[in-house]
Amino acid sequence: MKVHKHDAIIVGAGGAGLMAALYASKGGADVAVVSKLYPTRSHTGTAQGGIGAALGNLDEDKPIYHTYDTVKGGDYLTDQAAARILAENAVDAVIELEHMGLPFDRTSERRISQRRFGGHTRNFGQELVRRACHAADRTGHMILQTLYQQCIKNEVHFFDEFQVVDMIVVDGVCAGVIAIELGTGEFHIFHGKASFFATGGWGRCGAVTSNAHSLTGDGAAIALRRGVPLQDMEFFQFHPTGIYKMGILITEGVRGEGGVLINSAGERFMERYAPSAKDLASRDVVSRAIYLETREGRSIKNRGYMHLDVRPQTVNRYFAEEGRDRSDFIDEATVERKLPDILDFCRTYLGVDPVKEPMPVQPTAHYAMGGIPTNIEAQVITDAGGAVMPGLYAAGETACVSVHGANRLGTNSLVDLIVFGRRGGMHMAEFVKAADWAQLPANPEAEIRAEFERLRRSSGKSRPGELRAKMQATMMDNVGVFRTQETVQRGIDELAELRERFYQDIHIDDKAHVFNTDLMEAWELGALIDLADVTAQTAIERKESRGAHSREDFKARDDENWLVHSLIHHDGELANPAYRVSFDKAVDLSLWEAEKEQGLPEGEQKFRPVERVY
Ligand SMILES: Cc1cc2nc3c(=O)[nH]c(=O)nc-3n(C[C@H](O)[C@H](O)[C@H](O)COP(=O)(O)OP(=O)(O)OC[C@H]3O[C@@H](n4cnc5c(N)ncnc54)[C@H](O)[C@@H]3O)c2cc1C
């Protein structure tokens, strides 16, 4: 058994993991990054639209406006102090990325260029603001390359294509993780004073998704199985514009540049649902509108998709109607320059040229608002009171700090990675200076090794691919954009059946040890089933509609009873979990409380939970 010993073990090499690694190493820690993918293949690299920061390069902007939008976008479930840190730290974090060499697009004055994005406004909702800093439509790609170079320069150790499958907890302290080296099938122990989960999301719970194949929520599932609760799992975001059937993302930046959604009647229907923000209302609102239009029989060819039109003649016609300045008008060259990858996707995968024809789009499973609960230093917490598990950190999509509340605004995930990855990295560097090495138990890998042997030797009749497709369909049909008690219960029942087949009747073909993707995908399916299940288990308990959680049997938001975070614990066995859901973790409303203390009248309180109007 190979044992690797490093102060800090970072699991995941996306934006969150690399930022944490960089800052932990800058703080003097000996850092190892363990990643199942080669770092620059992480999903952060696909982020298109941009990273939000109130630089005010093109429009007047302030971090407090960004904080307001983040809280409102999250339908008030956002922790307000964390949102403020996000917005304030975003400004210098983006400038820092620039100084590291990230090639942002430029304004004519050579400042970082910014574009409009849904829900981002100036002066507390007055009008849309240009806040998303971007490098064409490849912002995430540039972030990942930049951070990876910095980590290499800082002598971070990389263990690429090592998949973490378990975590070692000794007397309530995290002492490291266990990984499989994909090239050999061997188990390795990574013994650390601190471990950091930055393993990304679990969009692969959905049948139509923008997420890469690797996004199976391993880190969240491992933490859950080892006694860490997950927070706000009922909130999963559908992005309104995935390519029809394929799910591949068409960035909100398309609408930021003026693109509009059109139904089969040729109508720009968002004018009815969100008279002010229209196509740039928050994602939950736009996704629901597409479903409602579809139900009313107004989807294109009655097939459940809409047209996303960014043809200059269409965009300029609406700009003219809105009385926009002519300098905002676009031509084909603007679209080519600002959205090159989107044009490429559509031309390659659809044979559709977006400068000449509209794109067929439908909502696609996109982003997990919930995850491993942390405080603002990215330390993992294990109860409603905020007790910390020493030695365990998390940031990025797998974590829930909670800055996104019930619905994340576009461009805020990249900020989250950079801001909380950095805070966590710095905290970890200090923590490992003072911490002792925990004594590892004998054979910490025994349990997970046995689980892998079970999968390898399996000889049942159920193929992982078949179970996965069923799970994804169940989630889309029953725990998707709209939910009721009945549908979610059906989802829970079907997941229980799939779980039983996974543990009693699985079959994998490949029995080898070298790059056994069959085996690893089977294990990932187990993680996905757990995450789908906790999503459904919390969705059935939350009897209100808020953000991305839309209950048709409880249509209103109910702040009196439900302005609280959920926590779900997994007790019992892998094959037979017993869940505990609680709703006693308070939402941080400190900005609103400060306003009340100042004696501001209700009408002037910006952070008071009110109905969201776009
Ligand atoms: C197509 C697309 C476009 C997007 N566009 C934007 C945008 O414009 N702006 C924005 O703010 N957000 C955007 N998002 C969201 C944002 O990109 C993601 O939420 C964010 O990049 C997640 O970063 P991360 O560091 O948490 O994880 P990821 O970048 O997903 O990285 C996860 C890492 O964990 C590793 N890993 C996972 N499991 C294991 C394991 N078991 N063992 C070892 N390693 C493991 C992987 O190898 C990988 O390195 C977009 C998302 C998608 C899918």
Reduce the secondary structure of 429-456 to three states and give it as a string.
Answer: HHHHHHCCCCCCCCCCCHHHHHHHHHHH
Chain-wide mean pLDDT for the chain?
A: 96
Q: Strand pairing partners for 482?
A: 550
1 pLDDT band (50/70/90 cuts)? Answer: confident
By CB atoms closer than 10 A (0-12, 13-18, 19+), residue 343 is buried
Best mean pLDDT range from 131-140, 161-170, 320-329: 161-170
**Percentage of residues of the chain with pLDDT beyond 70:** 100
**One-letter amino acid of 284:** D
Containing 461, the helix (H) or strand (E) segment is: none
pLDDT of residue 613: 85
Task: Examine the pLDDT at 424 and tell me if it is beyond 90.
Answer: yes
Distance between CA atoms of residues 464 and 502, nearest Å? 8
Domain range summary for the chain, segments of one domain joined by +: 242-361, 446-556
- CA-to-CA distance for 203 and 486, rounded, in angstroms? 23
- Structure confidence at residue 179 as a pLDDT band (50, 70, 90): very high
Choose the CATH number for 446-556 among 3.40.50.10860, 3.40.630.30, 2.60.40.650, 1.20.58.100. Answer: 1.20.58.100
Written as one letter, the residue type at 307 is: H
Tell which residue, 507, 353, 549, 523, has the closest CA to residue 449: 523
pLDDT in tens, 587-607: 999 999 999 999 999 999 999
Q: Which residue has the tokens 């890998």?
A: 445
The answer to whether 311 and 359 have CB atoms below 8 angstroms apart is no
Index of the ligand 1 atom closest to the CA of residue 165: 41
Is the CB of residue 63 less than 8 Å from the CB of residue 91? yes
Question: What phi-psi label fits residue 443: left (phi over 0), alpha (psi between -120 and 50 degrees) or beta?
Answer: left
Query: How far apart (Å, rounded) are the C-alpha atoms in residues 149 and 110?
Result: 24
Q: Is 13 in the pocket of ligand 1 (CB under 6 A)?
A: yes
80 CB under 6 A from ligand 1? no
Angle subtended at Cα 341 by Cα 335 and Cα 345, rounded to the nearest 5 degrees: 110
Residue 306 has pLDDT above 90, yes or no: yes
What φ, ψ does residue 229 adopt, rounded to 5°? -75, 165
**For helices 80-100 and 63-73, what crossing angle results, to 10°?**
120
Model pLDDT, residue 48: 87
Angle at 3 between CA 168 and CA 170, to 5 degrees: 20
Say what the pLDDT of residue 494 is: 98
Q: Does the CB atom of residue 52 touch ligand 1 within 6 A? A: no
Cα–Cα distance, 143 to 353 (Å, whole number): 28
**What number of H helices and E strands is found in the chain?**
18, 22
Mutate to test the pocket of ligand 1, among 413, 451, 520 (most ligand atoms within 8 A of CB): 413
CA separation for the pair 478, 533 (Å, rounded): 12
The CATH class given to the 242-361 domain equals: alpha beta
Q: Which of 4, 41, 42 to mutate to test the pocket of ligand 1 (most atoms within 8 A of CB)?
A: 42
Distance CA 232, CA 401 (A): 10
Q: What is residue 614's predicted lDDT score, i.e. its pLDDT?
A: 85
- Is 283 among the catalytic positions? yes
201 CA distance to ligand 1 middle (Å): 6
Question: Are 479 and 202 spatial neighbours (Cβ–Cβ below 8 Å)?
Answer: no
Residue nearest atom 3 in ligand 1 by C-alpha distance:
47
Q: For 539-585, what is each residue's pLDDT tens digit?
A: 999 999 999 999 999 999 999 999 999 999 999 899 999 999 999 99
Looking at ligand 1, which residue's alpha carbon is closest to its atom 14? Answer: 47
223's enclosing H/E stretch is helix 218-225
- Measured distance CA(545)–CA(557) in Å, rounded: 5
Structure confidence at residue 462 as a pLDDT band (50, 70, 90)? very high
Say how far apart CA 533 and CA 230 lie, in whole Å. Answer: 12
Which candidate in 116, 204, 283, 422 is catalytic? 283
**Ligand 1 atom at minimal distance to the Cα of residue 37:** 47
Strand (E) or helix (H) holding 502: helix 485-504
Omega before 402 within 30 of 0, i.e. cis: yes
| C-beta of 70 in contact with ligand 1 (< 6 A) | no
Q: How far is the CA of 359 from the centre of ligand 1 (A)?
A: 25
Q: Which of 414, 418, 531 to mutate to test the pocket of ligand 1 (most atoms within 8 A of CB)?
A: 414
Task: Please check the confidence at residue 486 and state whether its pLDDT lies above 90.
Answer: yes
- pLDDT tens column, 365-421: 999 999 999 999 999 999 999 999 999 999 999 999 999 999 999 999 999 999 999
The secondary element (H helix, E strand) that includes residue 148 is helix 139-153
CB atoms within 10 A of CB 358: 19
Contact indicator for 452, 518 with CB cutoff of 8 Å: no
Separation between Cα atoms, residue 567 and residue 373, nearest integer Å:
9
Amino acid at 141: H
What is the CA(524)–ligand 1 centre distance, in A? 16
Burial (CB < 10 A; 0-12, 13-18, 19+), residue 521, is middle
Residue 68 contacts residue 126 (beta carbons within 8 Å): no
Find where tokens 């229907």 sit: 269
C-alpha of residue 87 to centroid of ligand 1, in Å = 20
Q: What is the DSSP string of 1-59?
A: -EEEEEEEEEE--SHHHHHHHHHHHHTT--EEEEESS-GGGSGGGG--S-EE----SSS
Q: Are strands 236-243 and 230-231 parallel, antiparallel or unpaired?
A: unpaired
pLDDT, average across residues 508-524: 95
pLDDT of residue 137 exceeding 90: no
Asked if 379 and 372 count as a contact pair (C-beta separation under 8 A), the reply is no
Alpha helices, DSSP H only, in 505-581?
A: 517-541, 559-562
Q: 69-94, pLDDT tens digit by residue? A: 999 999 999 999 999 999 999 999 99
Looking at 281-381, list the stretches that DSSP marks H as alpha helix, in order from N- to C-terminal side.
Answer: 283-295, 312-321, 332-338, 340-345
Q: DSSP characters for 370-398?
A: -BEEB-TT-EEE-STT--EEEEEEE-STT
